[in-house]
Amino acid sequence: MSEAPLKVAIVGFSGLIGKRHTVHVLENPATELIAVVDPSPNAVAIKTDLGVPESTPIFADVAELLKSTTTPKLDAALICTPPHTHVPISTTLIEAGVHVLVEKPISDTIESGKALVALAKANNVHLLVGHHRRFNPYVVAAKKTVESGVLGNVLAVSAIWALCKPDDYFDGNPALSWRKSRTRGGGVVLTNFVHEADILQHLFGRIVRVHAEEIAPQRNAAARQDPNHDMAEEGVALTLRFASGTVGTFILSDAAVSPHSFEMGTGENPHIPRVRVEGGDEIDVYRILGTHGTLSVPDLELTSYGDRARSWNNQLQREKLSIDTDPRVPFERQLDHFVQVVRGKEEPSCTGQAGLAAVQVCQAVLESLATKKTVDIEE
């Protein structure tokens, strides 16, 4: 006998990520969308565009949803709202006994994130963080390769995330204004590098030290003349040290014209066109350097000496690694995983604690930018 689908609500379904989650929840036979939460005046029209059944109610906030006497009891919720709202919304749901998958970053401060993790544990509720790239087949293949030992000891990683966001990403409507505000969780560090911080720690273990240099901002020059401006950073150059001894460099920018970003390299985001080099190979984003070989990702080129002695006098060989053929996109894989975690059949991949660890790295980067000093990260 098949299990009843989880009764799910989407909180903040009118944004880009909320729309993607809504579509996958509707398509998944293991989930039933029983409500959407969004105060947007366009919510009704968006609901229709996404194919949400007319009978599915829209609530202005989660408190209204939880008070409803006509909506079935929630099993789980996906939170897709701006970062500064993640903790208060998650707190309300967790206190009601609802399992939560919250989009990254889990919180905009370490203290509030710690409190949320503790609350979920005290209420015996699952709290997962939406670092969906853990389910990307290129990341899955990279982790498998690193853990196989074929690279030897991983000495260093060099990475880039650089592309050019359009002006309407920040100013398309008033609801998007948080994206350019440092204090409201905007900026390329908390918005984009939080993904990278999670993947780097997923692959290589804990980051213990960072140093950041800000890339010269290109937008909102007039606003930045105000000494009290709240404009978020547009890019940084980072050096990293991991607890394992691995070191790394990372270039991060949302104002550079470049194909070197995870989205363009993997094609995971349907709104960002994929880029391939001549011959159809993927663009490289990460280069993982080991004592026995180097792996570039997502093109998955493994370079080594094979059976030859490790010496620059010998010819290197290159091998193209494969990925699994699972047709599900990472968001679908993540949703399936969330269902299995709630049902007690899988251990969570990205716990609240793991999501908080990525935020901790991002906060260290922001501290380094502010103080112009190297920052050590406590465990």
Q: For the domain that residue 111 is a member of, what is the CATH number?
A: 3.40.50.720
Give me the DSSP letters along 38-61. Answer: ---TTHHHHHHHTT--TTS-EESS
- Indicate whether 109 and 183 sit together in one domain: no
- Indicate whether 261 and 343 sit together in one domain: no
**Containing structural domain, residue 180:** 134-324+359-376
Average pLDDT taken over every residue of the chain? 93
Quickly state the pLDDT bin for 170 (edges 50, 70, 90). confident
- Indicate whether 122 and 177 sit together in one domain: no
Residue % of the chain over a pLDDT of 70: 97
Residue 1 belongs to some domain of the structure: no
- Indicate whether 155 and 116 sit together in one domain: no
Quickly state the pLDDT bin for 221 (edges 50, 70, 90). low
Instruction: Please state the domain count of the chain.
Output: 2
Structure token pair of residue 160: 């880039």
- Indicate whether 111 and 147 sit together in one domain: no
- Indicate whether 119 and 31 sit together in one domain: yes
pLDDT given at position 33: 98
HEC readout, 24-41: HHHHCCCEEEEEEECCCC
pLDDT given at position 181: 75
pLDDT given at position 176: 73
- Indicate whether 128 and 172 sit together in one domain: no
Q: Is the CB of residue 84 less than 8 Å from the CB of residue 178?
A: yes
- Indicate whether 70 and 188 sit together in one domain: no
Report the chain's C-alpha Rg in angstroms.
21
Residue 282 has pLDDT above 70, yes or no: yes
pLDDT tens per residue, range 118-149: 999 999 999 999 999 999 999 999 999 999 99
Higher pLDDT, 282 or 158: 158
Determine if the pTM surpasses 0.95: no
- Indicate whether 110 and 157 sit together in one domain: no
Contacts of 258 (CB under 8 A, 6+ apart): 160, 162, 163, 164
Query: What is each CA distance from 141 to 154, 247, 280, in whole angstroms?
Result: 16, 21, 19
Residue 298 belongs to some domain of the structure: yes
Identify the residue whose tokens are 């509720």: 125
Residue 44 belongs to some domain of the structure: yes
Q: Is the CB of residue 37 less than 8 Å from the CB of residue 58?
A: yes
pLDDT given at position 184: 74
pLDDT tens per residue, range 20-33: 999 999 999 999 99
Higher pLDDT, 290 or 190: 290
Residue 140 belongs to some domain of the structure: yes
Q: For the domain that residue 236 is a member of, what is the CATH number?
A: 3.30.360.10
On the 0-12 / 13-18 / 19+ scale of CB atoms within 10 A, 122 is exposed
Indicate the Cα dihedral angle 292, 297, 298, 302, nearest 10°.
-20
Q: Is the CB of residue 105 less than 8 Å from the CB of residue 355?
A: yes
The alpha helices in the chain, defined as continuous H runs, are 16-27, 43-49, 62-67, 86-95, 110-122, 137-148, 168-171, 188, 194-204, 221-224, 262-266, 330-342, 352-371
